[in-house]
Amino acid sequence: MNGRVGIIGIGYTAAQPTTPYSSFKELMFEAAQRAYFDAGIDAAEVESFVTCAEDLNTGLSIFDEYTPDQLGAVQKPMHTLTQDGLHGIADAVMQIKSGLVEVVAVEAHSKASNILTPDWILDYAVDPIFNRPLGFNPHALAGLEMNLFLHETGITPQQVSQVAAKNRTNALRNPLAAYPARLTADDTAAGPYAHYPLRETEMAQTADGCVVVVLASDDKARAAASQPLWVRGIGFANDSPTLESRDWVHAEYTRIAAQMAYRMAGITNPAREIDFFEVDDTYAYKELQHLIALGLYPNRPGEAGRALEQGLTRPDGKTPVNVSGGCLGLGWTLEASGLYRIVELVLQLRGQAGPRQLPGAKMGLAQSWRGVPTTSGAVAILSSEQKPWE
């Protein structure tokens, strides 16, 4: 058996500001049915299941006990990761590469519209002894980081506003997106400050939705109903968890995760070898910070802002970023965010992205961050082609 792992099916619901009729289990059931149909398999053929969720976001304790039935996972190997969905993809890759199983389903969802105290949940993640007693809104950590990031890189507030405008506008071409809007940087720069220098318009709004991704071994992937996409690289990492000693300028968690993924994929020049990028933009400045950490601007980080201004990261640019609309345009679907990026990669690489199809896209990269107050990230690289030497 060789070590190749392919994505053979994706299933998803549209991201929506609210989903009043469907329970989270029904959202998962819908996405799972679509994923298994896309893969041309029955639920019974899935050998192992990974769900990605945070207990408090689901309003439940020990959430993993709430997941087998709606995925077809009853009496099957399954577990939950308290991580973004991209970590789930890494988990599935390891299960398949180890030879333990051949077909794995990865699920993540958001029912954010049912979370009544979202900022309190984030607050409960802030260090209870040294930080939480200060009593600040946890999104303020993004304001602090953005201020230093701009100071150190020379990236301007206007460029950050432009990220928000680009991604909201990109979402107009994505039927899955919850927050499409035709905006200019002047529009987004007119928004009030939420956590100076971070503006309200530069913060992603939550959305509900669910994604299921089916991964398989080489043999199973070749026999799949849909065109398989190959996981060429995967990586994940954390910086220091403490606010006191983490790196507040560089997204080290992404840099290290990317190095892992590049090593596995044999990539030495990501800007040239990878056709498009779907990266975390929960806060607009994060898109630029993450692109820098991915090594796209190795000479000077300030180039990230200039490349944006020159339109290089627009869908018609040299290095399209967040053609899907990102979290800003599609909606912030909590742990499902990374899997919506996988959906975009798969649709683009299959040539099924409709009005936003990138011509000739052969390799794409997805990157995730778990949000404040974490320093947890993951990177996945997918390609329609296998490595020539494999």
- Using CB under 8 A, pick the residue from 196, 268, 269, 272 that binds another protein: 196
Phi and psi, residue 374, nearest 5°? -90, 165
Q: Is 147 in the site for another protein (CB under 8 A)?
A: yes
- Segment near another protein (CB under 8 A), from 1-9, 94-102, 188-196, 299-307? 188-196
Q: Which amino acid appears at position 129 of this protein?
A: I
- Using CB under 8 A, pick the residue from 131, 156, 184, 238 that binds another protein: 131
Residues 277 to 316 in contact with another protein, rule: CB under 8 A: none
Q: How far is the CB of 144 from another protein (least distance, A)?
A: 5
Query: Of 238 and 319, which CB lies nearer to another protein in the complex structure?
Result: 238
- Segment near another protein (CB under 8 A), from 47-55, 121-129, 317-325, 376-384? 121-129
- Using CB under 8 A, pick the residue from 242, 268, 269, 352 that binds another protein: 242
Asked if 243 contacts 45 with a C-beta cutoff of 8 angstroms, the reply is: no
Q: Is 192 in the site for another protein (CB under 8 A)?
A: yes
| Residue 42 burial (C-beta neighbours within 10 Å; 0-12, 13-18, 19+) | exposed
Closest among 45, 107, 71, 157 to 339, alpha carbons compared: 107
Asked if 326 contacts 165 with a C-beta cutoff of 8 angstroms, the reply is: no
Q: Is 133 in the site for another protein (CB under 8 A)?
A: yes
- Using CB under 8 A, pick the residue from 1, 79, 100, 193 that binds another protein: 193
Q: In the stretch 10-39, what mask flags binding to another protein with x, by CB under 8 A?
A: ----------xx----x-------------
Phi and psi, residue 381, nearest 5°? -120, 125
Q: Is 151 in the site for another protein (CB under 8 A)?
A: yes
Query: Of 65 and 244, which CB lies nearer to another protein in the complex structure?
Result: 244
What are the start-end ranges of the H helices in 252-371? 252-265, 270-273, 284-293, 303-309, 326-330, 337-350
Q: What is the helix (H) or strand (E) element at residue 235, kind and residue range?
A: strand 229-238
Q: What is the helix (H) or strand (E) element at residue 120, kind and residue range?
A: helix 118-123
Asked if 329 contacts 180 with a C-beta cutoff of 8 angstroms, the reply is: yes
What CA–CA distance (Å, rounded) separates 209 from 205?
13
Query: Of 120 and 225, which CB lies nearer to another protein in the complex structure?
Result: 120
Question: Interface with another protein by CB under 8 A: which residues?
Answer: 20-21, 26, 59, 114, 116-120, 123-124, 128-131, 133-140, 143-148, 151, 192-198, 240, 242-245, 248
